[in-house]
């Protein structure tokens, strides 16, 4: 259960993450800002309140029992790097090197960066990777959980549905998939590109436990993840979000999928976040 103090702290962390995202993409003049902003609350709650991981980036005695995370929508690496910096896996000053030559903070997550389990970026593959990790953990009698964050646009890839089928068949109840359902992809609205609805019904038909939430509500995010950890079968959380959340002129605008802000845009956005 989240306390009032927890919610206050998480809101402050989310605000810091949004500022980091904006700084990183503006500085690099490259990167994916819209989806990073839409998944901000999800990533902040997951990493700060729900996952077991090493403390301060240092391996603890029970590190083998850490929860694993796969960022299937690897292009939203700015939010990933920001939460890793908050936890001490990397320094906050290193965020300034995002997408720069020789950096550990590539445009898509790579194993060069501490705290990252798998390199991702080819959309549609992350859930399959997570299935493999979850199966391996069960074979090792390791009770760690595996979390994977997917974009809704990548659900149009066939490989995702093979993975949904595999997870159910193998009863991978240690696997939690979270879908950032912002309904926008690079080509526009998901329902115009290739319709996904009724998404809940589709996922239930694949024998997954399905929870649908407001993906910006801290309490709903936390509660759904904690429920998912106790489920008897794999769980998918459909988190309804707003692309570009937190910056008014970026919200619900597909044009900000992978666009870097100008100096004027940056100053206007930072003013809104201040």
**Six-digit token string for 93:** 């000053």
In the chain, alpha helices (H): 4-28, 34-38, 40-45, 77-87, 126-139, 158-169, 190-193, 199-205, 218-229, 263-273
Band of residue 53 on the pLDDT scale cut at 50, 70, 90 = confident
Cβ contacts of 101 within 8 Å, gap of 6 or more: none
Contact 131, 169 (CB under 8 A): no
| Pick from 1-15, 49-63, 126-140, 170-184: least confident | 49-63
Give residue 107's pLDDT: 97
HSE, side-chain direction, 13 A CA sphere, residue 188: 5
Q: Is 206 exposed, middle or buried (0-12, 13-18, 19+ CB in 10 A)?
A: middle
Give mean pLDDT, residues 55-63. Answer: 65
DSSP secondary structure letter of residue 156: G
CA distance 15 to 124: 29
**What share of the chain has pLDDT > 90, as a percent?**
95
pTM: 0.97
Band of residue 135 on the pLDDT scale cut at 50, 70, 90 = very high
């Amino acid at each position: 259960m989240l306390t009032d103090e927890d919610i206050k702290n998480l809101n402050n962390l989310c605000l810091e993450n949004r500022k980091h995202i904006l700084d990183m993409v503006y500085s690099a003049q490259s990167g994916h800002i819209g989806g990073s902003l839409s998944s901000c609350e999800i990533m902040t709650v997951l990493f700060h309140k729900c996952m077991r991981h090493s403390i301060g980036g240092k391996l603890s005695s029970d590190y083998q029992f850490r929860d694993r995370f796969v960022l299937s929508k690897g292009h939203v690496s700015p939010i990933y790097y920001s939460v890793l910096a908050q936890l001490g896996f990397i320094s906050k000053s290193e965020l300034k090197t995002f997408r720069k030559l020789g950096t550990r903070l590539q445009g898509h997550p790579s194993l060069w960066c501490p705290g990252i389990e798998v390199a991702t970026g080819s959309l549609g593959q992350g859930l399959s990777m997570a299935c493999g990790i979850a199966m391996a953990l069960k074979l090792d009698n390791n009770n760690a959980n595996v979390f994977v964050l997917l974009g809704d646009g990548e659900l149009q890839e066939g490989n995702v549905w093979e993975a949904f089928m595999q997870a159910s068949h193998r009863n991978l109840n240690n696997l939690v998939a979270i879908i950032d359902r912002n309904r926008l992809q690079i080509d526009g609205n998901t329902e115009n590109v290739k319709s996904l609805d009724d998404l809940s019904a589709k996922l239930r038909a694949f024998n997954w436990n399905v929870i649908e939430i407001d993906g910006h509500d801290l309490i709903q995010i936390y509660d759904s993840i904690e429920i998912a950890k106790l489920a008897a079968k794999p769980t998918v959380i459909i988190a309804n979000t707003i692309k570009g959340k937190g910056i008014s002129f970026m919200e619900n605008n597909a044009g900000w999928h992978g666009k870097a802000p100008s100096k004027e845009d940056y100053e206007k956005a930072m003013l809104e976040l201040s």
